[in-house]
Amino acid sequence: MKPTLRIATTRPLPDPDHDELLLLEALGRQGIEARMALWKDEAERWDSGEPTLIRSPWDYIHSLSPFLDWVKRVDRAGPLWNPAAVVLENAHKRYLLELAREGLPVVPTWLIERGERVDLAAGLRARGWEDFVVKPAVGAGSWSTQRYTLPQIGNAQQHLAELSATVEVLIQPYLHSVEGHGERAMVAIEGEFTHAVRKSPRFIGMEESVSEAVSLHADERELGERVLARYPRLAYARVDIARDERGFPMIMELELIEPSLFLRQNPRALERLALGMCERLLALQHSAR
C-alpha cells in the first residue's frame, strides 16, 4: 500500500506558496499519495492519526490559540512534522530572548508585552538605536512590520500603541547589512543545510524579493548548526541571519513551523525533503507491523 501524507495549509493563502506544487510532484515521484488539507477544516479527521506535514497554514498568526490547540490535537493522534513541542516553542518570537540567554548571537530584541505602555523614545535612546523595526511577536511575512528612524518617533509610537493593545511587540535595531550582504535565509532539510537565498528587506505592503540560491558562508553555517543542535532532527528548518555592524552573523529569526523553503532554487533540497518524508512514512509502516 502506498504511504499517504496530509499537508496542512490554508485557503486563501495570503501569499503564493511556490513550494506547494513542486513538493506534491516530488512526493508523487517517491510513491507517496499526498494531499493538501485546510487546518481549519473540521470535516477533516484530524484525530485519525494520519501523518501530517505542516507547510503553509499562514493565517495562523491571526488565530494563534485555535492553531496551537489544533497542533496539540493532531500531534496527540500523530505523527506531526515538525512536532508539537517545536511548534509551540517557535510560534512566539519570545524564543529569540531564550536563544540570547543561551549565548547565541541574536539581533538585540526588546519585547513589549501586550497592554504595556512604554516611552519608545526613551527606550531607544537607552539602547542607542536610531534606526529600528517594530513588528508583532507573532507574525509572518511583513504583517504589521515597519522600519522607522528617530525623526519618525511619533508614527512609531502610534504603531506600537496600536499593536501592543492586542499583541506582544518586538523592537529591534535595523541592520544595514540587509541592504548589501542581505538577510540570508538558510534552509535545512532533515538536519542538513542545503542552500540559502538572499532576502531583501520587507515591510508593510511590500512584495517578497528573494534571490536564486547562494552559497552558505562558513560562519553562517556554523551558527545555523549551533541553533539546530538544540532540536531533534527536524523535517525542515530555516535560519534567517544578518550581519551586525562588525560583520558577525546574528540570528534574525528561526523558522520551524511553516517557512518558505525556496525549493525551486535548489532541486536537491526538494528531493531530499520528499525522500525524507518517504523514509519517515515507511518507518511508520514498518513499526506498525
Looking at residue 204, its pLDDT comes to 60
Cβ contact 27:55 at 8 Å: no
Identify the CATH number of the domain in which residue 79 sits. Answer: 3.40.50
Looking at residue 105, its pLDDT comes to 98
* 183 CB burial (10 A radius; 0-12, 13-18, 19+): buried
Identify the CATH number of the domain in which residue 238 sits. Answer: 3.30.470.20
Looking at residue 209, its pLDDT comes to 77
Q: Are residues 188 and 99 in the same domain?
A: yes
User: What distance in Å separates the CA atoms of residue 175 and residue 250, rounded to the nearest whole number?
Assistant: 10
Q: Are residues 84 and 11 in the same domain?
A: yes
Cβ contact 226:104 at 8 Å: yes
Looking at residue 213, its pLDDT comes to 92
Q: Are residues 276 and 234 in the same domain?
A: no
Looking at residue 122, its pLDDT comes to 97
Question: By percentage, how much of the chain surpasses pLDDT 70?
Answer: 97
Cβ contact 241:250 at 8 Å: yes
Q: Are residues 244 and 284 in the same domain?
A: no
Q: Which segments of the chain have a pLDDT < 70?
A: 141, 202-207, 289
Looking at residue 268, its pLDDT comes to 96
What is the domain count for the chain? 3
Of 23, 48, 18, 49, residue with least CA distance to 36: 23
Q: Are residues 156 and 197 in the same domain?
A: no
Q: Is 221 helix (H, G, I), strand (E, B) or coil?
A: helix
Last residue of a domain, which of 125, 153, 174? Answer: 174
Q: Quickly list DSSP for 84-113.
A: HHHHHHHSSTTHHHHHHHTT--B---EEE-
Structural domain harbouring 232 = 95-104+181-262
